[in-house]
Structure 1
Amino acid sequence: MSSSRWAGSITRASHDQWALSRRSLDAHIRGLEAGIAMLTHRLAQPIGQPGTRRAPGGYRSRSEWFGKRRRLGVLRDRHAAAMRDWQDGRVRVVRGGRRLANTRHHLDQAGITEAQWQQRWQAARWFLSADGETGKRYGNETVRGTPDGQVSIKLPVPLAHLANTAHGRYTLTSRVGFAHRGQAWRDRVVADLAVAYRIHHDPDRGRWYLTAAWQQPTVQAIPLEAAQAAGMVGVDMNDDHLAAWLLDVHGNPVGDPRRFGYDLSGDAAHRDAQLRHAITRLLHYAKRAGVTAIAVENLDFTEQKTREKHGRRKRFRQLTSGIPTGRLKARLLSMAAALGLAVVPVDPAYTSKWGAQHWQKPMTSPRRKPTRHDGAAIAIARRALGHRIRRRTPPPRDDQSDRRGHRNAQARPGTSGCEGPRPGVPGSRTRCAPPHTAAKAGDQRAQHRPEHATAHEQHMHSP
């Protein structure tokens, strides 16, 4: 009884839900495999065996070993069941959400009545959506939105008698407006570019809402040299904020550190809004600084999130689970591409440790108190710029041969004037270099010392 247009919308929505469930099942399987591997490793270690920096040791007692042995069997059974679902192509989807479905059995704890739950359940299961079509009028033939906010719906043939405008369309009496990216939406509909719409109902407010969405153009990769040309903003991701610091092309911190906080409590919509707001502030800061790229850590806590590796360290597990690495990187990549900024992922090894060790104290002043996260932001940006994270060692004292002529400042590798290594000179430690002695290595020739080996070579070869 439905038209092919609406049947396609229903099929597409079902397929998207199936694909999302498949990705969730794949993540569940990988998490189980990581837990099984960690349990197998720790059970193979002797009881009381201390762990190393890279791998945990054995369990502390025989009873704990026995409990983990039983848990290994449970995880293997769950993994086998998940693999059967994966091979059969079976997914488990609850239209309206599993949490809302389980709330039906705990209405007293939720503080709602059965009628209120029924309204929420129906609203969550209702959907009216249509994908966009480039080239069609205003970018969508099924649900059409005009630049002035007028919305009309193409009715299927059995409901054509309900149309209030020509060509079997039903026009809504209310007009819509978009507070977020309204100008971008208006530009797309004027150019007849594809815009997808979704109409949904909020039973608590008693309102209907229209959501517009469109696909961003493919992110274009740029050379690393182009991203490093104007400096970079290093970003350290944490469970409650983003720590950022601007570095110039030579790897020197510029200005003061910045912090962009977010609160990840509440429902998924609130968490997503908090992330988008923090990323928007970060990107605007980078645009004002004049850089073309942002450096972030390429974090992956797939194995670290499992409780099998850090079972007793509950605070650490909560910390790693609270950092939204996957969602934050996906949001940052898409939003940065919209503003013309590049994202450079770097190796996260020792960024926090070396950042706190080499940069937190030197950057501290009476009016600036950087944290270890700010030092990690400097370390991340320096690694993305191609510089070493650790600062150069302090110069020797005056009673040594080098009279503190070189500085502790940072410079690019190969820059003229850097203090380079030199080989050991045989013989006594005197100011005069013996004849036929090899010249010192590095860039020390640029200092033009009278006792330098270069001066002796020039004297020997002069007529």
Structure 2
Amino acid sequence: MGGLRRPTASFVVSGPCGVAVRDRLKHLTPQDERVLRAVGAHQGTLASRDLKTRCADGLEHSGDTWAARKRDLTGVSSSRIAGAITKATHDQWALARRCQAAHIQKLEAGIKTLRHRLSLPLGEPGTNRAAGGYRSKNEWFRKSRRLAALEARHAAAVADWQAGRVRVVRGGKRLLNTRHHLTQAGLTEDEWRERWEAERWFIAADGESGKQFGNETIRVTPDGDVSIKLPVPLAHLANAKHGRYILTGRIAFAHRGAEWADRVTANRAVAYRIHLDTDRGRWYLTASWQRPLVQTIPLETARARGMIGVDTNADHFAAYLLDRHGNPIGEPHRFGYDLSGTAGHRDAQIRHALTRLINWAVRAGVAAIGIEDLDFRPEKTREKHGGRKRFRQLISGMPTGKLKARLVSMAAEQGLAIVAVDPAYRSDRAGHRTAQAEPGDQGREGTRPPTTDRPPGEPSPSGKRKREPSASKTVRDAPSTQQWVHDSLMHTG
């Protein structure tokens, strides 16, 4: 095992800790929409101002500066709105900080690869673990210039990190840059402006247990009536007591409606967010709340009660029912999806495939689903894969983060645990396929293919064919010196 990476141990993934449901705000009057737009624009301006102040504080931020920002906002809004804005600002700054760290790591990975390849002689062959030298002097020169560019970007990013500088765009950098490519985006300037302004609005409020219906700022009754506590400068728009505005339309959550109603009836905290979908011209309300952390079962218990092993591929999930030793039982199942097209289409495809997978797991009566703990972030760089553009697009298009989050959430609803498995688990020796398979299990008497360091069908690194197996009876009848090891996805090393 010298020089090989030791696979990490499998572990049971923690369940979801929160819930979010969304429904449309229907039958709004023109006055309702005017009030929502006014509230969103006013509070959006406050949020932008607060984010600017927070970014200027940098690493000098403290509890005192946070309290000072909240006091400044309270006078032009309310205490609860000010608290929601400052909390959202803090979360946004922290997210930008994490993205900055990830960007630095990506630059360092690219620089390391370029330096290695530039140090090799031209035409030096690579290996399965490291790329070789560049093919020509021209390519070597171009990559040396790219190395200089990446080093300059890395130095600037590190300087920003050390100084606590982050660059955040309320509304999103992608939408901001779309302003310069309206024709390609299929938007007019007015359409872009409407979308830009809507994305920068702020109509949200955190919940508070003990308050009426779990939220004092955006209140939703069990019957679906929605009212908003207006900020001080807009109090003249109120149509109810205590500076509140009651919307004409009602809300009805089709998904988890009973769970939501139980919370608001008991005055338990529920956070709300109202936003406008400018493409459809529709208003939506999103409700979210925390839930008790799902108690995960021990890994050994999951194995004993049955598991399904899942392999993630470019266009499908390949799944096998596993016995208590992690050996496949019966025929494999395939759950396909198509990752081409828009982000909405890709998300729907993944959701549909996961639904089919989970339904099969429920019918099989297992306790857990074992899936590869995939993380392709270090694998996407063009420095590592060179001209393999289609391969980079393939791994970039696989929504591993969203897939894992959605799978954990959907599986928890069916009482299934998720076991994360190191994707490095593979057959490590030739010989009998398994020592634990039950009598009659399909493939029990098969043998593993010989372990190689290259894909099947490719020539050996030396370019020579290996000698065919001897037909000698002495060799064929000799006792095997290979150990019997099971090829299990659930092996923990």
Query: Normalization by structure 2: what TM-score?
Result: 0.68
Residues 151, 263 of structure 1: CA spacing in aligned structure 2 closer, same or farther, 3 A cutoff?
farther
Q: Which has the larger radius of gyration?
A: 1
Q: Does 1:112 align with 2:187?
A: yes
Instruction: Give the 3-state SS of the residue equivalent to 1:16 in structure 2.
Output: helix
Amino acid at match of 1:84: A
Does the 8 Å CA contact 1:236/1:243 hold for their aligned counterparts?
Answer: yes
Q: CA deviation at 1:174?
A: 0.3
**Alpha-carbon contact 1:34-1:302 (below 8 Å) kept:** no
In the alignment, which of 157, 160, 171 is matched to residue 82 of structure 1?
A: 157
Q: Which amino acid aligns with 2:268?
A: L
- Looking at structure 2, the residues matched to 112 and 315 of structure 1 have their Cα atoms a distance apart, in angstroms, of 29
Partner of 2:378: 303
Give the drift of 1:268. Answer: 4.5
Q: Give the residue type in structure 2 aligned to 1:37.
A: K
Identity of aligned residues (%): 67
Q: 1:95 aligns with which of 166, 170, 177?
A: 170
Alignment of 1:272-421 (within 5 A): 272-349=347-424, 351=426, 400=477
The answer to whether 1:236 aligns with 2:314 is no
Q: In the TM superposition, what is the alpha-carbon distance from 1:193 to its structure 2 partner?
A: 2.7
Q: Which residue of structure 1 lines up, in the alignment, with residue 127 of structure 2? A: 52
**Aligned pairs, how many?**
374
Contact 2:373 2:422 in 1 (8 A): yes
Q: Is the 8 A contact 2:303 2:325 kept in 1?
A: no
CA distance in 2, matches of 1:40, 1:47: 13
Write the letter of the residue equivalent to 1:226. Answer: T
CA distance in 1, matches of 2:92, 2:485: 55
Cα–Cα, structure 1 residues 56 and 109, in superposed 2: closer, same or farther, change >3 Å? Answer: closer
SS in 2 for 1:49: coil
Structure 2 SS opposite 1:214 = strand
1:52, CA displacement in angstroms?
1.8
CA distance in 1, matches of 2:341, 2:360: 27
Tell me the CA shift for residue 186 of structure 1.
Answer: 2.5
- Corresponding residue for 2:78? 3
Query: Does the CA-based 8 Å contact 1:237-1:323 persist in structure 2?
Result: no
Alpha-carbon distance, 1:36 to partner: 0.8
Q: Report what 2:22 is aligned to.
A: none
1:22, distance to aligned residue in structure 2 (A): 1.7
State the Cα distance separating 1:203 from its structure 2 match: 2.4
Instruction: Judge conservation of contact 1:235–1:296 (CA < 8 Å) in 2.
Output: yes
Q: Which runs of 5+ in 2 are unaligned?
A: 1-75, 435-440, 444-472, 489-493
- Answer whether contact 2:214 2:264 (CA < 8 A) is retained: yes
Closer, same or farther: CA 266–319 of 1 in aligned 2, 3 Å: closer
SS of the residue aligned with 1:21?
A: helix
Matched, 1:148 2:223: yes
CA contact (8 A) 2:320 2:333 kept: yes
User: Is 2:334 the partner of 1:259?
Assistant: yes
Amino acid at match of 1:292: A
Which of 1 and 2 has higher RCO (CA within 8 Å, sep 6+)?
A: 2
> What RMSD over aligned residues (CA atoms) do the two structures have, in Å?
3.3
Q: Distance in 2 between matches of 1:24 and 1:268?
A: 21
Q: Which amino acid aligns with 1:212?
A: A
Tell me the TM-score normalised to structure 1 length.
0.72
Using a 3 Å threshold, how does the CA distance of structure 1 residues 312 and 358 change in structure 2: closer, same or farther?
Answer: farther
Q: Distance in 2 between matches of 1:14 and 1:265?
A: 34
Residue 101 of structure 1 aligns to which amino acid in structure 2?
A: L
Q: Which runs of no fewer than 5 residues in structure 1 stay unpaired?
A: 365-395, 403-407, 413-463
Secondary structure at the residue paired with 1:174? strand
| Secondary structure of residue in 1 paired with 2:382 | coil
